[in-house]
Amino acid sequence: MKTMKMPIANSQRGFSLLELMVASSIGLIVILAMTSLFRTGMNATFTVTQRAETQQNMRAAIELMTKDLSMAGAGLPSGGLQLATANGNSKVACNQTGTCYVPADTYPNGNYMTGILPGFANGVENGAVITSAPAAVNDSVTSIYCDYNFPLSNFSFTFPNTTTANVAVVNPAVTPNNILAPGGLNVGDLMLFLVSTPGNGKGNQGTSAVQTAAAVAEITGLPAGGASIGFAAADPLNFNQPSTAANSLANAINTPGTFGAGNTVTVCRLYAVTYFLEVPPAGGTVQKPRLMRQVNGGNAVPVADNIINLQFSYDVINSQLGNMSANQSNPVAAGLSLALIQKVNLWVMGQGLLSEGNKNQSMYLASSVSARNMSFCNSYSDSATACQ
């Protein structure tokens, strides 16, 4: 009897432990490489995004400052004007509650107003320390110019006393015809009054006007309806000084004939715009510095976040030497005339809005602004009136 043999299946050989370990190691290396590549890509994206946001933030800040600085001196008398000093100097960058935003808060050079007021090394409110900024100083700057967006040529002003101006509309059909209209006057605004009389000069028109008075006053009251404006003494910015104070509006009103018939009175709202840095008070989270903008006697408002350094220098005509003194960081200390500033150079340092460990981005952005409305000296003339 023949016996049948059952087929025996061939056993398949599996992976050895060494092979499994090698394969696992290769797979792990590939995974680690992909993870590292992904992380590098994410870090690059984070860096690019943060740099773009920081640049955009700084550009917005510089564009805003450029607009104000390019208008500096517009509407002011040539060379600026002397303010009243009987009760001390007028204040810069202060609001109606008495808060002053920069340490040196008065007009320099004997209370003299020019289109640009440099604020060397006083650019941080309350002198706060910005730890993330470089060792360089922080500056402030004030630009002063007439507001031509709300012209006051359609209003006439009469003065029943030294602290009040009555307002009348010249032509009701012309806009603006309401002095309290949106964008109109507010308490704390500065008003520039220029009085001129016909002269005997022989200009292009045969005659020329001679300026006989110039005064700046702060609005302290605007009754309902806008029929009058108050210029009470002891105003927060110390412009409205007594009628005995030379160069004050009260003194000009008290002088017979100053605002009389035949004289031309030009009125504009002045913008005294100050830029500085503020470190907000701690409130449980990290408080980063920001760029602030303050106008006249109003409250300062933030215009750009994470600005950690602000510096200015000035190109000023040296009227004694007849040349340009460039990159003057402190022209007041150098004895140069602020009325002869021709260009403002500004540097802004921003810091990333986001931070993650040591990946925080900081960078500088620089620009220059021509001060085309400031005074100018003719270096080719020996005349005492070469500076206009």
CA dihedral 154, 373, 237, 61 (to 10 degrees): 110
Poorest-confidence range of 119-128, 141-150, 157-166, 208-217?
A: 208-217
Structure confidence at residue 336 (pLDDT):
94
Poorest-confidence range of 31-40, 46-55, 339-348?
A: 46-55
Decide the pairing of beta strands 164-169 and 155-161. Answer: antiparallel
User: What percentage of the chain reaches a pLDDT higher than 90?
Assistant: 55
Tell me 9's DSSP state: P
pLDDT, mean of residues 191-198: 90
280 part of a folded domain: yes
Structure confidence at residue 12 (pLDDT):
61
Domain span at 157: 53-370
330 part of a folded domain: yes
CA dihedral 383, 112, 294, 273 (to 10 degrees): -10
Asked if the model's pLDDT at residue 58 lies above 50, the reply is: yes
Residue 168 burial (C-beta neighbours within 10 Å; 0-12, 13-18, 19+): exposed
Poorest-confidence range of 1-15, 81-95, 190-204, 346-360?
A: 1-15
Structure confidence at residue 284 (pLDDT):
47
272, 219 in Cβ contact below 8 A?
A: no
176 part of a folded domain: yes
142, 104 in Cβ contact below 8 A?
A: no
Asked if the model's pLDDT at residue 79 lies above 80, the reply is: yes
39 part of a folded domain: no
- Quote the number of domains for the chain: 1
Decide the pairing of beta strands 164-169 and 190-198. Answer: unpaired
Q: What is the pLDDT of residues 205-252, one digit of tens each?
A: 445 678 788 999 999 999 888 899 999 999 999 999 998 899 999 999
31 part of a folded domain: no
Structure confidence at residue 127 (pLDDT):
86
210 part of a folded domain: yes
Greatest mean pLDDT range, 143-147, 285-289, 374-378: 143-147
b/e code 186-214 from CB counts within 10 Å (16+ = b): ebbbbbbbbbbeeeeeeeeeeeebeebbb
Structure confidence at residue 202 (pLDDT):
47
Residue 103 burial (C-beta neighbours within 10 Å; 0-12, 13-18, 19+): middle
82 part of a folded domain: yes
104, 141 in Cβ contact below 8 A?
A: no
Q: What is the pLDDT of residues 119-140, one digit of tens each?
A: 999 999 988 888 877 777 899 9
Poorest-confidence range of 94-98, 245-249, 326-330, 359-363?
A: 359-363
Q: What is the pLDDT of residues 281-293, one digit of tens each?
A: 765 455 688 999 9
110, 85 in Cβ contact below 8 A?
A: yes
For 199-306, where are the E strands, in sequence order?
209-218, 228-230, 264-278, 290-295, 301-305
Structure confidence at residue 260 (pLDDT):
80
